[in-house]
Amino acid sequence: MDDINKVLTKSVSEILPDKTGLAKLMESKKIRVYVGVDPTGSKLHLGHTIGLRKLQEFADLGHEAILLIGTGTVLAGDPSQRAEARKKITQEEIDQNIATWKDQASKILNFDKIQIKYNGDWLSKLGYADILNIASNISATQLFKREMFQTRTDRANTIWTHELLYPLFQGYDSVVMDVDLEIGGTDQTFNMLVGRELQKKMNNREKFVLTTPLINGTNGKPMSKSSGNCIWLDDSATDMYGKIMSLADNQIASYWQNLTDLDPKEPTSLKPLDAKKRLAFEITRQYHGESAAKSAQENFERVFQQGETPSNLPLVTTAANTSIGDFLVQRSFVSSATIAKNMISAGSVDINNVPVHDRNTLLEDGQIVKIGKTKIVKVKVE
């Protein structure tokens, strides 16, 4: 029972309809549980790992665990937390995006214990009568009352019909796989509860929902591909360590709790810098190993604490007469010109170890550019 309680407590925001009922079910039988991820990009980030880690915990207790890749739902596009509709995606893009997903996820998941399924296998086969049958179980009023749709309506932003259908398609996954539990971030609560209702009405049985916390990215906003603030699982050890060290101190606790198995009380006995270094080392170790994490820490201390310029800097090419502001955006060091402007204004960008405050400053061949606490490169003007 202690193992069950731990799984249902750590990195858990809410369990619906109730934690006690789920715990009793887990005591009585092996449950079927899944996490779904839509392949909107080719990379997984640390935010994805919270749900994946939780899925592995259920698998380790002997439950039937499924990683569901949303090859069908991604065609509709999840509208959760979106101010506008997602861009349409092609089958070729989907195939490219999931090409390395198993390799990335295997850093967290043991696929000897976890199945992979693809919801395109059943959603793409739905006929007219099937879709009508699914839709007849959920009221349109219920869908339109979704908070994010109300916000878009107030702003006179378009809500497309396929966005209204998305929760139905995701919810139908629960029916097809006949699951006892779905795990997802707090942003997925609405979609998962639609699945719970469909499971009740179409399979005549209960489905529990377990929500996990969301974490913020390197700029303090929710981690997402579109924000350009992600710490990716395939980041180099040096980049992963550096990005974590760039986080605001108030993010240490959420990363510590949700991304590691370290003692949750430990940060209270450490200075913020030491706690962050411990956190950065542990997360980097998980994905790159002890030796790489140690090298990344030593590199960070040399470059960012002792001011040493490494001899093997990455060489980044740019055209003549390129400004530092344009350089940051063009080479994807930041996701927008606004972010570049703000970083430069805050003195977070150095050229040859001198903070630059004018975004229109032109770069010269051979200059060393340091961007925040995570990147340092050498410029090659062509």
For the stretch 141-168, pLDDT in tens is: 877 777 766 676 666 676 677 788 889 9
Number of domains in the chain: 3
Buried b (16+ CB within 10 A) or exposed e, 332-370: ebbbeeebbeebbeeeebbbeeeebeebeeebeeebebb
CATH number at residue 374: 3.10.290.10
Whether 81 and 190 map to the same domain: the answer is yes
Residue 181 domain-assigned (yes or no): yes
Whether 166 and 38 map to the same domain: the answer is yes
Residue 221 domain-assigned (yes or no): no
pLDDT of residue 78: 66
pTM of the model: 0.82
pLDDT of residue 154: 66
pLDDT of residue 148: 65
CATH number at residue 171: 3.40.50.620
Residue 179 domain-assigned (yes or no): yes
Out of 178, 212, 246, pick the residue that ends a domain. Answer: 212
Mean per-residue pLDDT of the chain: 89
81: exposed, middle or buried (C-beta count within 10 Å: 0-12, 13-18, 19+)? Answer: middle
Whether 247 and 131 map to the same domain: the answer is no
Whether 79 and 105 map to the same domain: the answer is yes
Domain limits at 365? 315-381
Taking the alpha carbons at both ends of the chain, their separation in whole angstroms is 65
Whether 47 and 109 map to the same domain: the answer is yes
pLDDT of residue 153: 66
18-71 pLDDT per residue, tens: 999 999 999 999 999 999 999 988 999 999 999 999 999 999 999 999 999 999
Out of 175, 197, 212, pick the residue that ends a domain. Answer: 212
Which range is least confidently modeled, 210-214, 226-230, 244-248, 344-348?
226-230
Whether 283 and 338 map to the same domain: the answer is no
268-324 pLDDT per residue, tens: 899 989 999 999 999 999 999 999 999 999 988 887 766 666 666 778 888 988 999
In the sheet that holds 32-37, the strands lie side by side as 14-16, 208-212, 181-185, 32-37, 64-69, 114-118
Residue 110 domain-assigned (yes or no): yes
